Structure formats: structure tokens, C-alpha cells
Amino acid sequence: MLIQTRTRATLREADVTPEALYLDRRRFIGASAATLAGGLGLNGAAAATEASGKDYADGEAPNSFEQITQYNNFYEFGTDKGDPARHAHLLQTRPWTIKVDGECEAGGEFDLDALIKTSELEDRIYRLRCVEAWSMVIPWRGVPLATVLKRFKPTSKAKYVAFETLVDPKQMPGQKRRALPWPYREGLRMDEAMHPLTLLATGLYGKELPKQNGAPVRLIVPWKYGFKSIKSIVRIRFVEKQPYTTWNDLQAREYGFYANVNPTVDHPRWSQARERRIGELFKRKTLMFNGYADEVASLYEGMNLRKHF
């Protein structure tokens, strides 16, 4: 984990430097000079510049493009945080077809570019909280999942929606090992899927999604642990019963189906009360529903969140 082993000063610089500035500085003064300048704390001006997009992270500074694209979980490319950045270039993201089936009237096979038009994309800055107790702030570009799902005309039997990632060990060399049972699968209750905060992301920092972040299209559910935000989606299925989901099926005691961020329900092997924001030295308090309680708590009214964690 490269990011964890750097000095505090370097981390701070990288933490607050938006991609454009970061790349410009690299281009003009070179990598070693930039690292030196960062180490000396000479980049204060960069800290004031913000990523563009509607702020859903209470003004918290977005992580740098470098952090967002070098520290990843994407087991299809390996289990180390640096593996996705190293190997994701093998993934072919065009043409990209998504199969839609199950309880809907207008399913079929859809070309991604026909399904999601660039004109409907919006930029939103969200916190992302991993179940491993680290977090980032990421400026996504995408479309509300509800906008897309409505086009398939789900029937009244559609109580859940299930998603699958591509399986192709040639493009995703991590799949040559059975680190997880492939395909990676996730699912949401229909009301969670239709919630206005739930996003289908095709980009970040204002441009196409880097492959290690789940190109060409991934889910973002900002009030849930990151493992719900499935990457490189090739199938969407409307179903009546709670679908099979990878981590929950693997270890239900550790990973719930709901996986709502909850500082009061610890993972059996570690506390969820606090989290390490990538690039920061001291841990922060984890927020209920990752800070989105006002928007989403009503979805779970009357549910025992210790049982349905």
C-alpha cells in the first residue's frame, strides 16, 4: 500500500490536489520536483481549488485523482490495493453490452453508449466508506440509477435488483484465481435502487471512469459500504426475492446484505466506529449512513439495524 507508507507532508499535498493541477505540476516541474515541493509544504494554493460537481460531502476536500486511482479494491485484477491500477489496462471497455432481464417489460441487450447519454450525466461529490474502515471523497460523474431502471419498465414483482460484473479471465487476470466466486454480484432492494442518491457512474473528476475504478459503468450507493458499489456491470436483473450477493454469501456474519454504514455495528474482526480517510493521519468518526441519514434513514424505519446490518 504505497499511499500508507508516504510521509505525512506528501500525503497532505496529494490529498488536496485536484487532478488537473496535479497533472499540470507533474508536466511542468517533473515528478521528483513535485514530490520535493509537496514535502516542503509549498502547495498551499492547490488546497483551495475544488473539484467540480454538486457537493454531497459537506465541503470535505475530494481525494486526489492519484489516490482515487492507485488505491483500489477490484479483486478481478488482484487483491492488493495497487493491482487494479497495474492490470486494469487489459480490460476492453468498448463496445460494452448490458443484459437486462427478469421482472421487467422492456429488458434486452443494450449498448452502454445508447443506454446512457453523455448529455444526461451529472457531477456529484460523495464520500465512499469501505467496510475495511478507510474512506475517500470522490467526484463522480453519472446518472441516477432510477433514471435508467425506469426505462426497463420493472413489473410489480420486481422487489430487488441484482447486478453482475464481467467474467473474462483474459481481461481480468485476477479471475484466474478463485479469490472470490466469479462473477462478482451485488443487489439492492428496489426502493434503495430508486433512491435519488443511488448513481450509475461512468466517470470521475469530469472524465471517463478509469478502468481500475470500474469502467465503463459501476454502481455508487454512498450510504452503504463500498462493496455494494459493484464495478464493470454487464447484467442487471429484476427479481422477486433477495438476490445472491458475493460478500454476504461468502461470510454472512461479516458482510450483511444491507451493508449500511453504521458506526455502532462492528465488523466481527474490527471496529467500524472510526475510519481512516486516505491521505490523513488521524482517524475520523464514522457517520451513520456515511453522513446520508437525513436522506435515507426512512428507508429502514422499523427495521432492526443490528439484525439487518
Q: How far apart are CA 246 and CA 165, in angstroms?
A: 11
Task: Give the nearest distance from C-beta 187 to ligand MTE in angstroms.
Answer: 13
Q: Of 64, 70, 171, 213, which lies in the binding site for ligand MTE, with binding defined by CB under 6 A?
A: 213
- Residue spans of beta strands (DSSP E) within the chain: 54-55, 97-102, 108-111, 122-129, 134-144, 160-165, 185-189, 199-204, 207-208, 218-220, 233-239, 274-277, 284-285
Task: Give the nearest distance from C-beta 280 to ligand MTE in angstroms.
Answer: 16
User: Strands across the sheet with 97-102, in order?
Assistant: 108-111, 97-102, 233-239, 160-165, 185-189
Q: Of 17, 43, 165, 202, which lies in the binding site for ligand MTE, with binding defined by CB under 6 A?
A: 165
Q: Of 229, 248, 272, 286, which lies in the binding site for ligand MTE, with binding defined by CB under 6 A?
A: 229
Cβ closer to ligand MTE: 138 or 143?
Answer: 138
Cβ closer to ligand MTE: 16 or 217?
Answer: 217
Residues touching ligand MTE: how many (CB under 6 A)? 17
3-state helix, strand, coil in the chain (%, to 5): 30, 25, 45
Q: For residue 73, state whether it binds ligand MTE (rule: CB under 6 A).
A: yes
Cβ closer to ligand MTE: 227 or 238?
Answer: 227
- The three-class DSSP label of residue 100 is strand
Q: How far apart are CA 118 and CA 291, in angstroms?
A: 29
Q: Of 22, 56, 74, 152, which lies in the binding site for ligand MTE, with binding defined by CB under 6 A?
A: 74
Q: For residue 116, state whether it binds ligand MTE (rule: CB under 6 A).
A: no
Which amino acid makes up residue 193? A
Summarize as ranges the residues that interact with ligand MTE (CB under 6 A).
Answer: 72-76, 128, 130, 165, 184, 213-214, 226-227, 229-232
